[in-house]
């Protein structure tokens, strides 16, 4: 596969030398070299471990190399390679040890020991190409020693036979389940490594692992420690060597990384990067302007879910909440004419649409089985109980593997069903709105992510005309980390344009989009006017002054622009050619400036404040996880009082910064504070109002996060507790209301019915302080309650205030330039 890629791009390159270094087939500046050349002494033991991001593999290996370094006479070294994807990304741990100092400041290319901690990698990565002859392959396998051979792909069998490998299997997930460890199998596989490698006497190795378990998990409580210790004890009984047969017998082929249905560039370039061969791709394969296609995450088919949701058509009330909360846009709704069901797979489900406006139409909820991460949030949020069996709902989790093929066929059929005309969808209810096609799907965000549902909502509501400036952080990583992006496009080819900028300048970056779009629109209108004699006065007028406030009006304007373009190609004038280049700018664009709290409250706040003060029509979305999530949980000014975070190990002593109040102080900024899990239609309303407001808008969106130490499946319910306890406020501040003589602030939270501690005790970030520093925790929890009381009463007070009549509102140009450098001299040489 990978060779095929290279054949297309650089037919004359030396194939043997393709594995490392830039292959510059454009300027031909790269030198050829021998990839097999090695200076590593044979005495160095080299081990590679393939794990899934966050499965504990890296942590266990850091621990192993410390044990070896501290308890044996070996010198030791560890390198850990992982990309920035949140879930489904591979990690590779490279451990070296030996009797002499290790001076290899590079990754392992040939290993004595290869461990595959995730079965799904067998079909995805060619791990055994790195194994030396006679080396060990350890596989975490759901299949026992007797049956595993036939389940291996042919390529893997071939490597094992040719390399005369020692092959071990263990069902680490089963051991983990049996010992109460859930899906945590890192210490189990670590034990296997020591058992097989014998770098330490087995008893001693196990004692070291036990000690490190007590050290590592001690602060999480004795129960966690005991479970881990038990898992270690049970491991060796489940570790089995497999006799490697002499013949390749498997019928399983390693598939190409991306489906054959994917476009050529996606298959040959993005697919090669995805398969781990990105460093081999020749320079000529890359886009010259750095622009990558969107809608590419759908080719990944990561198959991460052990269980996926299954729809019960009879119980379902068609509320749309499951689609709303889904972090990965893998549960979708379509409403369509019954005739579209012709040719549907037998297992494809549909029901009569219940919404009165959709009378006589069919309704389907469909899951993308290979893209679902199995978080279960859709099931948790589902309000429809099965009356005959109350433990069931209208959605229920069931194992994915048996459903994979069938639901895949259903998914393909579902995708071909037509979308409802956007003009016919009412945006006042989740029930209807969630029929909108998401243009943000299958991101690499964590399973159960609290940020992505907000982004997906933006993509549904405004995606076909959105331009997104994304600050560094989780959202930039799952949003556009090579090789794929979840940002997508509809059948017309319309979808968000997206780019990422720095923490410290993303608000300004997005403001630049606005200024640029406005300038181009102005130029397009000017050109239309210059061509008015040809285009006609009426059409000119319609093109340049038509309202574009809703889907219907935007649809009309798009039709006009399409008609304009058809006319333009026939007009021979410089104006016509120029207008053709900017005519699309006559359709309203929606600028979104997106980032997390580290960006919005801290590092990017100076710019964010400047952009809010600009008066220009931009929409800022703050995905507020209340901590620097992407970098591992450092406190930000958004972190609430009493939360434990990095740089706030004793619990954050200060209250959360009130970013919304600060933004409101400008008076002409739309401000909303939302929490989808607490009140989804409030979230929807805020997004619609923010976008409609012709000035700066900021939405501060409560986003649950793995950094909070919560059960992600029930995280949307936690959001409700956050609002019910007053820990998080729902409100909207709409300057348009002030113009209408009303108080611009609407407090949408009700008087708290719960206590703040009801919220705090759900989350490890707060709970852990009650164990480590109970006195501090008590005091800080009291203050947290006080913060919430004060905040609620303050907002209630402000929302009750009698408004001032406003004489007029003014568009406000932004200040240009940076006036902190004084001009010190001037030279004029004129004749």
Residues in region 263-282 near a second copy by CB under 8 A? none
Residue 666 binding a second copy, by CB under 8 A:
yes
* 504 three-class SS: coil
- The whole-angstrom separation of Cα 658 and Cα 662 is 6
Site map 646..665 versus a second copy, x via CB under 8 A:
xxx----xxx-xx--xx--x
Query: Which CB, 659 or 715, lies closer to a second copy?
Result: 659
By three-state DSSP, how is residue 277 classified? helix
Q: How many residues bind a second copy (CB under 8 A)?
A: 85
Closest approach, Cβ 508 to a second copy, in A, equals: 12
In this complex, which beta carbon is closest to a second copy, that of residue 508 or of residue 584? 508
166 is an interface residue for a second copy by CB under 8 A: no
What is the x/- site pattern for a second copy, positions 453-472, by CB under 8 A? Answer: -------------------x
Region from 36-44, 235-243, 350-358, 780-788 binding a second copy, contact rule CB under 8 A: 780-788
CB of 822 to a second copy, least distance (A): 5
Long-range residue pairs from 605-609, CB within 8 A, at least 24 positions apart, any chain:
605/637, 605/659, 606/504, 607/504, 607/505, 607/506, 607/507, 607/508, 608/507, 608/698, 609/662
Q: How many residues does the chain have?
A: 831
The nearest distance, CB 481 to a second copy, in angstroms, is 12
- Check if the beta carbon of residue 77 is closer than 8 Å to that of residue 65: yes
CB of 608 vs a second copy, minimal distance in Å: 9
Among 632, 740, 753, 771, binds a second copy (CB under 8 A): 632
CA torsion, ordered 666, 670, 673, 674, to nearest 10 deg: -170
Which residues 6+ apart lie within 8 Å of 26 measured at CB?
283, 284
Which of residues 264 and 793 has its CB atom nearest to a second copy in the complex? 793
Token pair for 269: 């370039």
- Contact segment (CB under 8 A) with a second copy among 63-71, 196-204, 297-305, 434-442 equals 63-71
Ramachandran area for residue 553 (φ above 0: left; ψ -120 to 50: alpha; else beta): alpha
Report the DSSP pairing between strands 697-702 and 395-399: unpaired
DSSP run (H or E) holding 760? helix 756-760
| Contact status: 829 vs a second copy (CB under 8 A) | yes
Residue 91 near a second copy by CB under 8 A? no
Instruction: Name the segment binding a second copy (CB under 8 A); options: 517-525, 581-589, 677-685, 784-792.
Output: 784-792
User: In this chain, which stretch among 355-363, 458-466, 563-571, 822-830 interacts with a second copy, using CB under 8 A?
Assistant: 822-830
The neighbouring-strand residues paired with 334 are: 364
Q: How far is the CB of 806 from a second copy (least distance, A)?
A: 6
Task: Tell the smallest beta-carbon distance from residue 154 to a second copy (Å).
Answer: 34
- Per-residue binding letters, 541-570, with a second copy (x by CB under 8 A): ------------------------------
User: What's the CA angle centered on 117, arms 116 and 121, to 5 degrees?
Assistant: 60
Backbone angles phi, psi at 647, to 5 degrees: 70, 5
Partnered with residue 282 across adjacent β-strands are 23
247 binds a second copy (CB under 8 A): no
Nearer CB in complex with a second copy: 435/600: 600
In angstroms, the CA 471 to CA 477 distance is 10
| 775 binds a second copy per the rule CB under 8 A | no
Binding-site member from 69, 142, 293, 345 for a second copy (CB under 8 A): 69
- If we measure between CA atoms, which residue out of 609, 606, 608 comes closest to residue 594? 608
Q: Which of residues 485-514 bind a second copy (CB under 8 A)?
A: 503
Q: At its nearest, how many Å lie between a second copy and the CB of residue 711? A: 26
Beta bridge partner(s), residue 51: 91
Asked if 436 interacts with a second copy (CB under 8 A), we say: no
Rounded Cα gap, residues 422 and 416, in angstroms: 17
Q: Note whether 86 binds a second copy by CB under 8 A.
A: no
Listed ranges 169-177, 192-200, 310-318, 777-785: which one lies at the site for a second copy (CB under 8 A): 777-785
Tokens 């009082």, located at residue: 641
> Is 238 or 646 the residue whose CB approaches a second copy more closely?
646
Cα 508 to Cα 605: distance, rounded to the nearest angstrom: 11
**Per rule CB under 8 A, is residue 617 in the interface with a second copy?**
no
Structure token digits, residue 658: 């009130």
């Amino acid at each position: 596969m990978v060779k095929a890629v290279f054949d297309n791009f650089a037919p004359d390159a030396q194939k043997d030398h393709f594995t490392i270094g830039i292959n510059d087939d454009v300027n031909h500046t790269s030198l050829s070299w021998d990839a097999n050349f090695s200076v590593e002494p044979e005495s160095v033991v080299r081990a590679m471990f393939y794990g899934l991001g966050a499965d504990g593999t890296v942590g266990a290996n850091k621990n192993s190399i410390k044990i070896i370094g501290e308890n044996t006479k070996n010198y030791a070294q560890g390198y850990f390679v992982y990309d920035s994807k949140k879930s489904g990304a591979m990690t590779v741990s490279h451990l070296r040890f030996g009797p002499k100092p290790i001076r290899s400041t590079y990754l392992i290319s040939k290993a004595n020991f290869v461990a595959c901690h995730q079965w799904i990698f067998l079909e995805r990565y060619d791990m055994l190409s790195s194994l030396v002859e006679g080396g060990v392959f350890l596989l975490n396998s759901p299949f026992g020693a007797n049956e595993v051979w036939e389940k291996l792909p042919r390529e893997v069998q071939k490597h094992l036979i040719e390399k005369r490998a020692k092959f071990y299997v263990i069902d680490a997930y089963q051991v983990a389940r049996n010992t109460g460890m859930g899906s945590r199998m890192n210490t189990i596989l670590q034990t296997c490594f020591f058992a097989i490698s014998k770098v330490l006497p087995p008893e001693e190795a196990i004692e070291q692992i036990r000690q490190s378990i007590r050290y590592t998990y001690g602060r999480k409580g004795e129960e966690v420690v005991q479970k881990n210790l038990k898992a270690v004890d049970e491991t060796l009984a489940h570790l089995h060597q497999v006799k490697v047969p002499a013949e390749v017998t498997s019928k399983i082929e390693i598939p190409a990384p991306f489906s054959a249905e994917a476009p050529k560039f996606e298959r040959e370039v993005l697919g090669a990067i995805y398969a781990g061969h990105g460093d081999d791709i020749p320079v000529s394969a890359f886009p010259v302007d750095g622009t990558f296609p969107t809608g590419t995450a759908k080719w990944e088919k990561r198959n991460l879910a052990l269980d996926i949701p299954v729809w019960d058509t009879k119980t379902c009330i068609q509320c749309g909440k499951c689609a709303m909360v889904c972090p990965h846009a893998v549960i979708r709704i379509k409403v369509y004419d019954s005739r579209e069901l012709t040719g549907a797979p037998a297992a494809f489900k549909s029901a009569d649409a219940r919404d009165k406006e959709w009378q006589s139409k069919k309704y389907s909820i469909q899951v993308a089985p290979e893209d679902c991460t199995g978080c279960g949030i859709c099931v948790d949020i589902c309000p429809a109980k099965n009356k005959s069996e109350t433990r069931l709902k209208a959605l229920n989790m069931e194992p994915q593997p048996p459903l994979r093929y069938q639901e895949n066929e259903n998914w393909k059929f579902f995708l071909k069903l037509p979308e409802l005309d956007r003009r016919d969808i009412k945006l006042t209810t989740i029930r209807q709105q969630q029929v909108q096609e998401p243009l943000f799907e299958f991101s690499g965000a964590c399973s159960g992510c609290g940020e992505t549902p907000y982004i997906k909502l933006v993509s549904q509501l405004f995606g076909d005309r959105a331009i997104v400036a994304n600050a560094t952080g989780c959202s930039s990583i799952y949003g556009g980390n090579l090789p794929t992006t979840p940002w997508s496009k509809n059948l017309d080819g319309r979808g968000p344009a997206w780019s990422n900028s720095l923490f410290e300048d993303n608000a300004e970056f997005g403001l630049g989009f606005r200024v640029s779009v406005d300038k181009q629109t102005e130029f397009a209108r000017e050109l239309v006017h210059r061509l008015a004699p040809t285009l006609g006065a009426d059409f000119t007028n319609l093109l340049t002054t038509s309202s574009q406030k809703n889907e219907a009006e935007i649809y009309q304007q798009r039709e006009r622009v399409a008609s304009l373009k058809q006319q333009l190609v026939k007009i021979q004038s410089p104006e016509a050619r120029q207008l053709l280049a900017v005519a699309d700018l006559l359709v309203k664009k929606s600028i979104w400036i997106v980032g997390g709290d580290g960006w919005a409250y801290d590092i990017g706040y100076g710019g964010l404040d400047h952009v809010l003060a600009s008066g220009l029509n931009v929409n800022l979305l703050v995905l507020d996880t209340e901590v620097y999530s992407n970098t591992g949980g450092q406190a930000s000014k958004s972190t609430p009082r009493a939360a434990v975070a990095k740089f706030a190990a004793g619990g954050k002593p200060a209250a959360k910064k009130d970013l919304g109040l600060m933004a409101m102080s400008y008076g002409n900024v739309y401000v909303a504070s939302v929490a989808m899990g607490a009140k989804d239609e409030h979230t929807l309303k805020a997004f619609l109002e923010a976008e409609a407001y012709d000035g700066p808008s900021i939405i501060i969106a409560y986003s649950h996060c793995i950094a909070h130490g919560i059960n992600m499946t029930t995280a949307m319910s936690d959001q409700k507790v956050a609002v019910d306890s007053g820990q998080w406020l729902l409100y909207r501040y709409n300057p348009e209301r002030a113009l209408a003589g009303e108080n611009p602030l609407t407090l949408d939270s009700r008087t708290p019915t719960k206590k703040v501690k009801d919220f705090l005790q759900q989350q490890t970030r707060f709970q852990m302080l009650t164990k480590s520093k109970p006195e501090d925790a008590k005091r800080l929890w009291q203050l947290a309650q006080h913060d919430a009381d004060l905040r609620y009463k303050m907002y209630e007070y402000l929302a009750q205030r009698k408004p001032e009549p406003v004489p007029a509102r003014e568009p406000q140009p932004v200040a240009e330039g940076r006036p902190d450098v004084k001009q010190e001299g001037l030279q004029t040489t004129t004749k």
